[in-house]
Amino acid sequence: DRLPALLQRMPKAELHIHIEGSLEPELIFALAERNGVTLALDSVEALRAAYAFTDLQSFLDIYYAGASVLLTEQDFHDMAMAYFRRAAADHVVHAELFFDPQTHTERGVPFETVVRGLKRACEDAERELGVSALLILCFLRHLSEEAAFETLAQALPHRDAIAGIGLDSSERGHPPEKFARVFARCRELGFRLVAHAGEEGPPAYVWSALDTLHVERIDHGVRSIDDPALMARLARDGVPLTVCPLSNLKLCVVSSLSEHPLPALLAAGLRATINSDDPAYFGGYLNRNFTETFAALPQLGAAEAYRLARNSLEASFVAPERQAAWV
Ligand code: HPA
Ligand code: ZN
C-alpha cells in the first residue's frame, strides 16, 4: 500500500499548531531544571500519565501548567526549534504558529521575550531547515476583551513579526462576538484573522466568527457538520477549516477517528486541512495525524491526500506567487 508513503512525503503546510502545545515532557523537565522551576509532578512518566483528557478544559489546565517552565527568550526559541525539526521531518514546507502571549505575560514574562525568541526560531527554521514560518498571536477567550486590547498594544512595537491574530482557549460561554471590537481594530491594522470556532462550541460560533469577526479561516469548525446552511456557506465562500483529528479524538470531540466528519466535510466541497493542534499532548505530529486518520477512514484515498495538501498550501497566508516554490 503506497498511501502511507504518499501521506508522509507530500509537501504540506501546517496552519493550526499552538507552539506551547509542542512542548514535550522531556523538554518541560529540561527547562524546569534550567530555570529552577518546581513542577507538581516529578517525572516525565508521571506527566505523560496525566495526559488523559475528557474535554477541552481538562486539557487546557495541564497545557497552561506545562507552559509555566518558559521564562527566557532562549526557552521560546528552543521550544519552537524542536517543533520545526519535527515538522521538517514530516515534509512541512510552511508552518503558521499560534502563540498565547497572555499565558506568559500573566506570569510576569515580558511580551518581547516571547516574540523575540519565537521570531529568531522562525528565521533559523527558514535558514537551517528550509521551513518558512509565520506567527499568529492568539487572544485567550476566557479573559476579557479589555485584556485582549492590552495585549494588542504590547504587540504593536512588534507588528512586522506578527502576521495574524487568532482566538483560542475555553470556547463554550466565550462566543466570538465577545471580541468584536478588538478584532475590528486588528482588521484595521492589517492583521490576517482566524478564530477557533465549532470545536466544542455550536455552529452559531462559526457563523459569528465569520460575520462578526470577519475571520479568513476557521480553526477546527468540525461542528459545522450539524448545520446544513453553514456547510453551504463555508463551501460557497471557500473558507478554509484547520481540522485536527487526533486533537478531536483526545478531547472527546469525536468518539473514534472512524467517526470523524473529515470525509463528509471534503465531500461537501469544504476547504479542509489536517493539522496537529498540540502535538506533544495529543499523540502525534502532522504525519501521524494524516496516517492515523487515513487508516481509520477507508473513504480517504490518494485524491483526498492531494486535496488536503493542496488546501493547506493555498489556505496559508503566503502570497500565491511565493507558494510556487513549494510544489
Ligand atoms: N482549542 C482551544 N484552545 C486551545 C487549543 C484548542 O484545541 N489548543 C491550545 N489552546
Ligand atoms: Zn487549537
* Tens-level pLDDT at each residue, the chain (327 residues): 799 999 999 999 999 999 999 999 999 999 999 999 999 999 999 999 999 999 999 999 999 999 999 999 999 999 999 999 999 999 999 999 999 999 999 999 999 999 999 999 999 999 999 999 999 999 999 999 999 999 999 999 999 999 999 999 999 999 999 999 999 999 999 999 999 999 999 999 999 999 999 999 999 999 999 999 999 999 999 999 999 999 999 999 999 999 999 999 999 999 999 999 999 999 999 999 999 999 999 999 999 999 999 999 999 999 888 898 887
Atom index in ligand 1 nearest the CA of residue 278 equals 8
Compute the distance between CA of residue 269 and CA of residue 255 in angstroms, rounded to an integer.
Answer: 24
* 188 belongs to the catalytic site: no
Ligand 2 centroid to residue 143 C-alpha, Å: 17
For the CA of 15, the nearest ligand: 2
Location of C-alpha cell 509565520: 134
Contacts of 61 (CB under 8 A, 6+ apart): none
**Which is catalytic among the residues 73, 96, 199, 304?**
199
Residue 326 pLDDT: 85
* CA-to-CA separations, 239 to 48, 84, 158, 217, in angstroms, rounded: 36, 27, 28, 6
For the CA of 16, the nearest ligand: 2
* Cα radius of gyration rounded to whole Å, the chain: 18
Residue 325 pLDDT: 86
Cell representation of residue 93:
514546507
Residue 107 pLDDT: 96
Residue 154 pLDDT: 98
Q: Is the ipTM value over 0.85, yes or no?
A: yes
Taking domain 3-22+73-315, whether its CATH number is 3.20.20.140 is answered by: yes
Cβ contact 53:250 at 8 Å: yes
Burial bucket for residue 186 (CB in 10 Å: 0-12, 13-18, 19+)? buried
Binding residues for Zn(2+): 16, 18, 196, 277
Location of C-alpha cell 483526498: 304
Residue 327 pLDDT: 76
